[in-house]
Structure 1
Amino acid sequence: MQMDDSLLNKYSLVKGAARRARQLQNGATPLIATTSMKACRVAQDEIRTGQVRFVVPQRPERAQPTIHI
């Protein structure tokens, strides 16, 4: 499976697929025709085909610590 530019790393792909798999397990309709009964595989296939996209939130910039003397 090739990673899209919108995916920062494999970890973000796994997190996105896990979230979508939970939706499928809770009754969401699959967005693609598939022979797999496994929600995780269906979620990965949906992401790979571009049917499901997810946004990795930007980390807020860390405030510089204030030193009080």
Structure 2
Amino acid sequence: MTIENAFHNKYSLVKGAARRARQLQSGASPLIVAKSMKACRVAQDEIKQGHVKFVLPERVVEPVVDLPPQ
């Protein structure tokens, strides 16, 4: 499975890497032993190696109620 298949599209891949990089910068432990100290690169490597997954949240749709005219 390629990185592009693991994520919905390239935009979600970038958003996922950015979110993970923010977690790393905030003190989260890396999931791999990385060569780089840069959070963005570590996040990309974690995704490439399959340690970070992308989950689409459930979409809640509110019902539309048509009220009679007053």
When the two structures are superposed, what TM-score results if normalisation uses the length of structure 1? 0.75
- Write 1 or 2 for the structure with the bigger share of helix: 2
Give the % identical residues.
62
CA distance in 2, matches of 1:3, 1:51: 15
Task: Report deviation, 1:57.
Answer: 2.8
Task: Give the equivalent residue in structure 1 for 2:11.
Answer: 11
Alignment RMSD (CA, Å): 2.2
Q: Could you list the runs of 5+ residues in structure 2 that have no partner in the other structure?
A: none
Task: Report deviation, 1:56.
Answer: 2.5
Letter in 1 for 2:12: S
Runs of 4+ in 1 over 4 A off after TM superposition: 58-61
What is the number of equivalent residue pairs in this alignment?
68
Q: Could you list the runs of 5+ residues in structure 1 that have no partner in the other structure?
A: none
1:55 aligns with 2:55: yes
